Each structure stands twice: as structure tokens, then as C-alpha cells.
Amino acid sequence: MRRSQHMTTVAAIEKAALELIAEQGFDSVTVEGIATAAGISRRTFFRYFASKNDIPFGDYASLLVALEEWLGSEPDDRPMFDVISDAVMRFNRVHSDGGVAHRERMRLIMRTPSLRANAALHQDDWVAVLTRYAARRLDTSPDALVPQLVAQVSLGAANTAYEQWLSDESSDLEELVSEAFTTVQGLSSLETTQRSG
């Protein structure tokens, strides 16, 4: 019961904050304004979020736990990058109120200078989850080069797909993510393919 109330409160604060940010711009919105809009006290706000900068990421720690659990449940006979491609879509769909809201959230995260440091920290945590997954699949240590490379390449593929999606309103995110990860799997033959094409 407590977890359900926690998730409801986080969602309510997020919703109020994102509506204010859409109206006023991220830098103009204050914690006090968000608390008032959400119908809570400033003190209550800080029970759920360490700062205003954490709001666009939602309940990120819970999302990472769910991501790691999902990765662990996928069959090991699936190609690793196919699993990670699916994981990118599942992870980013969790706290979306639809395509438009998700686009606005991601634009806020990826294009707001004052959020870049937070985004980097959150991406580090995401990369750590993928590194552990790749290490398990490859039967090696998370400290080894290859699982870390798999995770970093996956982050690059996901970010590139998102940047393309944000730049073109008519594009489809799922198609871009799929294309990015398909390309990752064929990088070694990319130059030959381009020349023959």
C-alpha cells in the first residue's frame, strides 16, 4: 500500500511540475511553485525529490530496478542488442503519458543546459545496469572492457535515436531505436555496405 501511495504522489508531483515547466520554462519554475501546484508542502516535495532537476526523470531508481529485472528475465538465446533495443523502449515508455508528453519530457532532459549534469548521472546508472547485463551474458566481469563497451555503445545508439526523433516531429521513435541497434550490430560491415550501395 505504501509503495502505491508513493508512486501516486511521485506521479502527481511530476504532472504538476511538467505542466508548470511547459507554461513557464524550466528555469523559471520553483520548488515552491511546484509544491503549490501539486497541493503539497515544500517539505513534502523533498521527501520525493532531491531537487527540481530530478523531476523529469521520475522515480528513476524504481525504473532501473524494473529494467534490471526485465533484462534478467529475457532468454539468453536472444541476440544481446535485440534485448537492449527492446529494453530502451520499455524503459522510456514506463512514465510516459503518451507520445507528445514523452517527446516533451525527453526534449526537456536532452536540451536543457541546467539538466545536463543530472542527465549524465542518470545515464551512468543506466549504463551500469546494462554493463551488468552484458557481463552476465558474456560470462565475464562488469569491470571488463567488452561489457562496458556494449553498454556505452548502447547509450550512444539510444541517444542518437532520441536526437533524431526530437529533430523530426514526423519520425517514429520505435523505428529509430530499432534502426540504431540494427546498425550497431552491423557496424563492422557498414563501410563495405555503403560503398556497394
Domain boundaries, the chain: 2-51, 59-188
Average pLDDT for 141-145: 98
Q: Note the pTM of the prediction, 2 decimals.
A: 0.83
What percent of the chain has a predicted confidence (pLDDT) above 90?
64
Q: What is the CA radius of gyration of the chain?
A: 19
pLDDT value at 95 more than 70: no
What does each C-alpha distance from 44 to 12, 47, 113, 161 come to in angstroms? 12, 5, 27, 36
> Mean pLDDT across the stretch 97-113?
82
Distance CA 52, CA 34 (A): 9
pLDDT of 188: 76
Task: For residues 151 and 113, give the distance between their C-alpha atoms in angstroms, rounded to a whole number.
Answer: 24
Cβ–Cβ < 8 Å for 108, 115? yes
**CB-based contact 83:71 (threshold 8 Å):** yes
pLDDT digit string (tens) for 38-53?
A: 999 999 999 999 999 9
CATH superfamily entry for domain 59-188: Tetracycline Repressor, domain 2 (1.10.357.10)
CATH architecture assigned to 2-51: Orthogonal Bundle (1.10)
- In this predicted structure, the answer to whether residue 24 has a pLDDT above a threshold of 60 is yes
Asked which of 9-23, 76-90, 159-173 is least confident by mean pLDDT, the reply is: 9-23
Mean per-residue pLDDT for 131-138? 98
DSSP, res 37:
H
As a whole number of angstroms, the distance between CA 194 and CA 63 comes to 38
The mean of the pLDDT values for the chain is 88
C-alpha–C-alpha distance, residues 16 and 14, integer Å: 6
The dihedral built from the CA positions of residue 127, 67, 47 and 104, taken in this order, carries a sign that is: positive
Residue 154 pLDDT grade (very low, low, confident, very high; cuts 50, 70, 90): very high
Q: Is the CB of residue 154 less than 8 Å from the CB of residue 93?
A: no
Residue 191 has pLDDT above 80, yes or no: no
Query: What pLDDT does 99 receive?
Result: 65
